[in-house]
Amino acid sequence: MEAYTGFAEIYDRCMDNIPYDAWAANIGRILKKYGIEKGIVCELGCGTGEMTGRLSDMGYDMIGIDSSEDMLMEAREKLYERGKDAPDILYLLQDMREMELFGTVAAFVSVCDSMNYLLTKEDLLQVFRLVNNYLDKDGIFVFDMKTEACFAALGDETRVEQFRDATVIWENAYRKRKKQNCYRITMFLKERGDLYQKVEETHIQQAYSVAAVKELLTEAGMVFIDALDAETGRSADAASERILFLAKEGFQPGKCYENRNNNA
């Protein structure tokens, strides 16, 4: 599967209902609550850079990681449009399961259910281990995940979105036994005149229970802090459709803590 190739071109228009401002404000409050008021923050699955840019505006030195070159092209275009006086953002084309950084960071964040694209516990564990490895001492990891309740609510449906220069067809399928959500995206992107390019992508997301995520974080050496309903801010329960997880770096004897944030 090559996800977010043709879709990258119209991704922001399809996601114009996402409350990025509110999400960024909430993440900012969480970071400050745990003493992270400046320094380097890395976003996993940064996409077109909507959240990365907002956190940069809050004064954090941002790194954005994504495995889609097309999405990062959109993010870099936004960075260019911000002007030469705007803080720079380092965008890296990497698979989060194999990410490499130059040193530790104050925090990792991940939104828009990027973690759900890790379809096995082994992959999720690998990412958690890398996050723990690259976090400063007492660093924080904040990430959201869609739940099985969310996938069940979506069910099997087809919907169509029309834009001035594109038509997007979403075909959603809920795989209850596997706890997966599969959606096929068919796009007709206008090129010139009456000529349209047809692009198809298939996306699969995996649901994990709070208990499973907590167990994997612990196995990775991290300290589980909390699991909150992303909508209400209260403790997550069986009805929660999106959960915001908080975890803390677990001290590792012999680890080189290269805290660059004092120079930020």
**199-225: per-residue pLDDT in tens?**
888 999 999 999 999 999 999 999 999
Tokens of residue 17, six digits: 């209902």
Residue 202 lies in a domain: yes
Same domain, 186 and 234: no
CATH number at residue 192: 2.20.25.110
CA angle 142, 185, 158 (to 5 degrees): 100
Tens digits of residue pLDDT in 226-243: 999 999 999 999 999 999
Amino acid identity at 255: K
Total number of domains constituting the chain: 2
Find the radius of gyration of the CA atoms of the chain. 19
Angstrom distance (rounded) from CA 118 to CA 97: 9
CATH number at residue 221: 3.40.50.150
- Are the C-beta atoms of residues 217 and 224 closer than 8 Å to each other? yes
Tens digits of residue pLDDT in 126-156: 999 999 999 999 999 999 999 999 999 999 9
Question: Which pLDDT does position 259 carry in this prediction?
Answer: 52
Positive or negative torsion for Cα 10, 14, 17, 21: negative
Q: Which residues pair with 43 in a beta bridge?
A: 64, 109
Angstrom distance (rounded) from CA 219 to CA 129: 8
